[in-house]
Amino acid sequence: MDLSDSSSVSRRVQLSKVSEVERVEDRLSCLKAIFGTTIGVNESSFDWCPDGSPPSPQELLGWLWFLEPDINIKLKSQASGQLAKLMTAYDEDNLDIWWQQLLEQYD
């Protein structure tokens, strides 16, 4: 997928279409720390409301990962900065360490 073209990406996704829904709050809070409030939460769906027009490739990748944390390796390899660190920490079940490192940046 070309991360510079978000035109074919759904901006509203039903909760039933989101993978690992039991950990959706973890992903949502982490992505808010990186990108701000770009994901809206509704009763039965999520909305992607990117800051930029067009959205940055990292913002798009964050949305795709939010929906499907097991996205393919090729897409994950395009992550950089805090998003890349977040994806690794999530996969390794080390979000506490990721949060600690993120907060230390601001000390």
- Say how far apart CA 91 and CA 106 lie, in whole Å: 24
Q: What pLDDT is attached to residue 102?
A: 92
pTM assigned to the model: 0.93
- Say how far apart CA 93 and CA 107 lie, in whole Å: 24
Model pLDDT for residues 65-103, shown as the tens digit of each residue: 999 999 888 889 999 999 999 999 999 999 999 999 999
The DSSP element (H or E) to which 13 belongs, if any, is strand 12-14
Q: What is the mean pLDDT of the chain?
A: 93
Cα-Cα end-to-end distance for the chain: 37
Q: What pLDDT is attached to residue 104?
A: 92
User: Among 80, 90, 26, which Cα is nearest to 57's?
Assistant: 80
Model pLDDT for residues 9-52, shown as the tens digit of each residue: 999 999 999 999 999 999 999 999 999 989 999 999 999 999 87
Domain boundaries, the chain: 12-104
Q: What pLDDT is attached to residue 65?
A: 96
Q: What pLDDT is attached to residue 4?
A: 86
Q: What pLDDT is attached to residue 51?
A: 82
Q: What pLDDT is attached to residue 52?
A: 79
